Amino acid sequence: MEYGELTEKIIGCAYGVYNKMGFGFLESVYERCMLIELQKAMLNAEAQKLITVYYENQIVGDFVVDIIVDDTVILELKSVRRIIKAHEVQ
């Protein structure tokens, strides 16, 4: 897997946040916690970054990502009781 080591670190950070914070907070709280964990893991992470979306070399829109790590992996955070189909698509 091309980004296996990076994604393992990110998943470890997510588990760290969950183990310390549990559930029940707003996404914005988890986002700030994730940024702290990612920083501790020596990863470059930016929150609420505007990304230009391309299709066949043409700009088709913009997208604000919750967190982007090392300009490579986009994190879409969810704070819900249950994941529904709309969340999976996102």
* DSSP notation for 36-52: HHHHHTT--EEEEEEEE
The SS3 call for residue 5 is: helix
- Give residue 3's pLDDT band: very low, low, confident or very high (50, 70, 90): confident
Both tokens assigned to 23: 């559930």
Mean pLDDT along residues 34-63: 97
Quick check: 89 pLDDT over 60?
Answer: no
Quick check: 61 pLDDT over 90?
Answer: yes
pTM score: 0.81
How many residues in the chain?
90
Mean pLDDT along residues 48-70: 97
The mean pLDDT of the chain is: 90
Who has greater pLDDT, 52 or 84? 52
**Strands of the sheet with 45-55, listed across from one edge:** 45-55, 58-69, 73-75
Q: Which residues contact 43 (CB under 8 A, 6 or more apart)?
A: 6, 9, 10, 13, 69, 70
